[in-house]
Structures are given as C-alpha cells and as structure tokens.
C-alpha cells in the first residue's frame, strides 16, 4: 500500500482485529493517550501502570528519542530513506513528518502487523509532494516479505535507516538476532540502525513487574541487558554513534519535546498511572527510565 493507493477497506480490516487480546501497538497507544484501543489493551496497560505508575514515561521518552535520532540522521547525516518496523498507531511526529520537515524528498516505509494500524495508515501516508511514504502489513519475523515490499519505495543501493523502536523486547533471542541480521544485511554501506529496547539494568523492580504482566497475557517479553543489546551492533559490524548505548533521556537531549504530547487526566482504567495523570517527559528522572537507545552506522 503506497501513498497513491486507495484507502483500505476499513470494515473488512476491522473484522480481522481480535479485540479480545491486547496488542503491543494498542497498549502503546493507551500510554500515549490515544483513542484507538480496546478494553483488553486498556486492561493490560492498567496492570502495567499498577506495576510501574511512571512507566508511561518510558513510552514517551522512546518516541522523543526517535524524533531526535531521525532529526540527526536526516539533518546531519543526509539520510533520505527510512524503514520503520513496528510502527504502531499514527500519532504526532511520525517518522515521515520529522524527516520530511528537514528533507521534503525523504522516503519512509512503515511496517506493522496489527490490522488496526492499516485502518489508520492513510495518516501515515500523507507525504510531502517531493517525498513518498508506504505501508506494509507484515510481522517483524518476516524479514523477507518486508524487504521485498520495501523495495517498491526504497532504493537499496542508497543508505537506509532501519528503525526498530521498542519492538525487539517482544521477540525471543532465537528470532530477534537473525531477523535484525537479515534486515541489516540487505542494507548498503552508510545505512543506520535506530534501536530502543527495554531493560532491567536500571530500576529492575518495577520493570520486571511490568514484564510479568505482559507475559501473563501471552506476550514474549525479553528484558535484555546492555551487552545483549550491544550484540545487535557488534554481530552486524556496525559503528555506534556518540553517545553510544545510553538510557533514552541521555541520547543527545535537545529539550524540545513534542509540544503535542498528551498531558492531563488519563482514562479511569489507569488510575495507578502517576496519580491518574499523563505527565511530560520533562518530569522524568533516571529512576523512571528503563529503556536503552542507540544509533549505529553500517560502514
């Protein structure tokens, strides 16, 4: 599905959505204050909020890290192609909005496996006149399908940034490392990896409680240590950009958090969430962060 393709049949797609089971993209949407989620998603989010009342700050810091990383790569490194796997539901400051604000000719391909994301994909496909966006419905565990479809839009003879934001902790080791290797292996020299990943290295008690709530709902949930996250870099011969692998709030902070960030009261199901309120990431401290981030270059 590309920017000039017809809108998807929303009624048909909605029939494929299993509203009885929580989905990571929709739970993420709850923590961002979105509206495209169901009771099962809000229940999972509520349990996570009970385990870690300020955990929504990880979600928000993750989005702001992506903003900063794309800004640096489009603005300073001249990258014009992005492959965002595990896109999630559209919100403000999507990758194409960030990149095309700097480089109108930037091309962005989004990938997600939740039909509800495809229902809303037209919001992801509002490209600049000079650039292009595309959407692929696929699972990260299908790298061959992703790469084949991405070639409709992206030129794999030119550098591509692979964005894997807050997705790999849902994938077990026996799939995560080979999948990342396959995706990066198809990209040329000068390409980049933007990666964020939950960990128990920092503040282990609340994040382990959160992990347990997700596992009880059938999710794979792998809290990798720093050295295990570093393997995604070293196994693929990448070079880390400064400042390396760091907690999300410490990767090149610019103190320009998205002005549209949702704040104020949260849904009543999230009464454990920070006193029942969404708060700004500017209120976060190191004690609130459980996510490592990195940007690395393929030499």
Tell me: the pLDDT tens digits for 226-275? 999 999 999 999 999 999 999 999 999 987 765 445 567 777 777 777 77
**Three-state DSSP state, 255:** coil
* pLDDT tens digits for range 124-152: 677 888 999 999 999 999 999 999 999 99
The Cα 258–Cα 91 span in angstroms is 11
Confidence of residue 171 (pLDDT cuts 50, 70, 90): very high
Residues facing 221 on adjacent strands:
none
What mean pLDDT do residues 149-166 have? Answer: 97
Asked if 198 and 169 count as a contact pair (C-beta separation under 8 A), the reply is yes
The Cα 125–Cα 178 span in angstroms is 29
pTM: 0.86
What mean pLDDT do residues 195-199 have? Answer: 97
Report residue 62 as tokens: 């993750």
Q: What is the mean pLDDT of the chain?
A: 86
- Alpha helix ranges (H) inside the chain: 10-14, 24-31, 39-51, 56-75, 95-102, 115-119, 143-150, 173-185, 204-216, 226-234
Q: Which of 51-60, 119-128, 181-190 has the lowest mean pLDDT?
A: 119-128
* pLDDT tens digits for range 210-228: 888 878 877 788 999 999 9
Looking at the chain, the number of H-run helices and the number of E-run strands are 10, 10
Beta strand 264-265 with 277-278 is antiparallel
Q: How far is CA 176 from CA 28, 143, 154, 171, 231, in A?
A: 20, 11, 23, 5, 11
């Amino acid at each position: 599905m590309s920017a000039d393709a017809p809108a998807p049949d929303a009624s048909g797609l909605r029939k494929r959505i299993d509203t009885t089971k929580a989905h990571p993209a929709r739970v993420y949407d709850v923590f961002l204050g979105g509206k495209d989620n169901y009771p099962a998603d809000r229940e999972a989010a509520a349990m996570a909020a009970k385990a870690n009342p300020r955990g929504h700050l990880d979600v928000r810091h993750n989005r702001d890290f992506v903003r900063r990383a794309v800004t640096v790569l489009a603005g300073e490194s001249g990258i014009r192609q992005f492959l965002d796997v595990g896109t999630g539901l559209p919100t403000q400051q999507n990758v194409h909005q960030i990149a095309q604000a700097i480089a109108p000719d930037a091309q962005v391909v989004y990938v997600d496996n939740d039909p509800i994301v495809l229902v809303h994909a037209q919001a992801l496909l509002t490209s600049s006149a000079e650039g292009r966006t595309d959407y692929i419905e696929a699972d990260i565990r299908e790298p061959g399908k992703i790469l084949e479809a991405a070639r409709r839009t992206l030129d794999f003879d030119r550098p591509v940034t692979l964005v894997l934001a807050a997705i790999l902790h849902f994938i077990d080791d026996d799939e995560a490392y080979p999948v990342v290797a396959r995706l990066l292996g198809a990209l040329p020299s000068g390409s980049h990896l933007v990666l964020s990943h939950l960990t128990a290295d920092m503040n282990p008690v609340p994040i382990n409680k959160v992990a347990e709530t997700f596992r009880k709902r059938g999710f794979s949930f792998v809290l990798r240590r720093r050295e295990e996250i570093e393997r995604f870099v070293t196994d693929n011969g990448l070079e880390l950009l400064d400042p390396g692998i760091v907690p999300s709030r410490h990767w090149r902070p610019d103190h320009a958090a998205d002005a549209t960030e949702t704040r104020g009261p949260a849904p009543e199901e999230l009464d454990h969430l920070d006193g029942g309120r969404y708060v700004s990431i500017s209120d976060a401290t190191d004690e609130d962060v459980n996510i490592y981030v990195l940007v690395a270059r393929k030499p």
